[in-house]
Amino acid sequence: GGQLLHLQGDNGAGKSSLLLALAGILPPTQGDIHWRGQDVQQDLLAYQQQVCFLGHRTGVCQDLTVLQQLQLYGFSKAEAWAFLRAQGMA
């Protein structure tokens, strides 16, 4: 399974930039991002293989259900259902 994050803020507050930096798509403009004790920029490819960024406009197939989307990104059907139940979505 995974985790769910709710990030809220005004337009232009930097929500998208933060998420893109956390996903390793944009480098941070200040400071460092650490994952499991390691600076992600030191081995960016290895880090990116452990995370998935699915924005509201990219990577979503409009014809698929949420369950199908999760399966597309590597969840087994059982894992996808468990994740959806844990988030109160099933």
* Run means of pLDDT, 10 residues per run, the chain, 90 residues: 80 90 87 92 85 67 78 82 85
Domains of the chain: total = 2
pLDDT at 10: 95
Say if residue 6 is in the same domain as residue 31.
yes
Neighbouring C-beta atoms of residue 40, cutoff 10 Å: 22
Say if residue 3 is in the same domain as residue 45.
yes
pLDDT at 42: 92
Residue 67 host element (H or E): helix 66-72
Spatial CA neighbour of 58 closest among 20, 14, 6: 20
Strands 38-39 and 34-35 turn out to be antiparallel
Verdict on whether the full-model pTM lies above 0.95: no
Say if residue 3 is in the same domain as residue 43.
yes
Q: Which domain holds residue 71?
A: 59-90
pLDDT at 30: 92
pLDDT at 60: 61
Say if residue 49 is in the same domain as residue 69.
no
